[in-house]
Amino acid sequence: MSRKNITISILSLIGVNVFLLSYILNPSGEALSGRLIDKFDGSANEAPAEKNKESASRVSNHEAISPVMSGNSVIYYEKGTGRVFKTSLETNTTETISESILRDFLSAVWAPDKRQVIAKFYGPLGNEFRYYSYDTKKTIPLDRNVRSAVFSPNSSQIAYFKSTPEGGEIYISNPDGSDSHRIFKTAFLDTDLKWLADDLIVVSAINSADQLHYVFSLNRDGEIRKIFDGLMKLDTAWRGDGAAVIYSSFDNGSLESRILNLNTGTEVKISKNIAAGQCSWGTNSVVCVSRQDGGSGDEIFLINPQGDIISLTKTSQSFNPSEVMLSPDESRLIILNRPDNLIYSLRINQ
């Protein structure tokens, strides 16, 4: 055998042995260099995540407004028509709850039992609020001066803000507006209400003179407790029981975010400044969506009560959320996207 043929045979034998050795050590066919880098350099773990960003699935087939979680399904109104749909997150199937076209429909506030709503309609003399029961199929208009309303946690009552020549008044009544009694008078011309616990109603208002935000709580007897006083561009996301809130506001032109525990009065500043309206509370922590730093798409992250941030997943899309909700098992983040008014679902791993 010539020297040339011997050299070729040796090189071929070396090549076969390298291939066999690599297959034995790496039977899945993955690149060895990547596996070794992952073992010895933790920073390389980010590379696969960038390639395998989570893709959101679309929940609504129609432009949506006033979405609400009902078990593992999302119920929502169709924007502009008032038709109602329900989409299962497990099967991604949609059923029609109501085909009725609601003229001048704007939005709705759902009762926790998902069997009643306070719907807001455009009216020539101002917005009108109407109570509707899905059980009785009856619609009852509320007082013409009502400007906002919310259901109690057990769905048996509502609190509503009513405008007056001097400002406004807050009432508690039956859901249809009957048997009402006033609990508070205020100089504010309009408020947003959240009834978070049986004896805890949170009132948010904006001073028309300086556009600063004021937030306070009321009990059933109208006793007041100040929470936020004179904040600029305030945004909030409340824990379900009202014991804590993540909030963001502008201070000296910069956005700052904090978590406030109402039971202890302690505050924790969050290192990543995020609009609180892009967050939703889970059992013991907050899940938020925000644009990735220096990347395309969004990032879903968790904030614990101590203010620590834990990245959960990254997305291939970017959203501008008008509403954010967690599924009951906290495995999905539900986003109502402002640009297209569609609802999306993102899987998250906690």
Q: How confident is the model at residue 316, as a pLDDT?
A: 86
Q: How far apart (Å, rounded) are the C-alpha atoms in residues 249 and 267? A: 14
In a domain, residue 185? The reply is: no
Q: Which domain holds residue 266?
A: 235-350
Q: How confident is the model at residue 52, as a pLDDT?
A: 52
In a domain, residue 333? The reply is: yes
In a domain, residue 154? The reply is: no
Domain harbouring 319, CATH code:
2.120.10.30
Q: How confident is the model at residue 350, as a pLDDT?
A: 58
Residues in the chain predicted with pLDDT less than 70, given as ranges, are 1-52, 294-295, 350
In a domain, residue 340? The reply is: yes
Q: How confident is the model at residue 152, as a pLDDT?
A: 99
Q: Which of 153, 195, 150, 156 is nearest to 179 (CA)?
A: 156
Q: How far apart (Å, rounded) are the C-alpha atoms in residues 281 and 5? A: 72
In a domain, residue 239? The reply is: yes
Span 219-270, pLDDT tens digits: 999 999 999 999 999 999 999 999 999 999 998 889 999 999 999 999 999 9
Q: What is the domain count for the chain?
A: 1
Q: Which of 141, 130, 187, 192 is nearest to 164 (CA)?
A: 187
In a domain, residue 97? The reply is: no
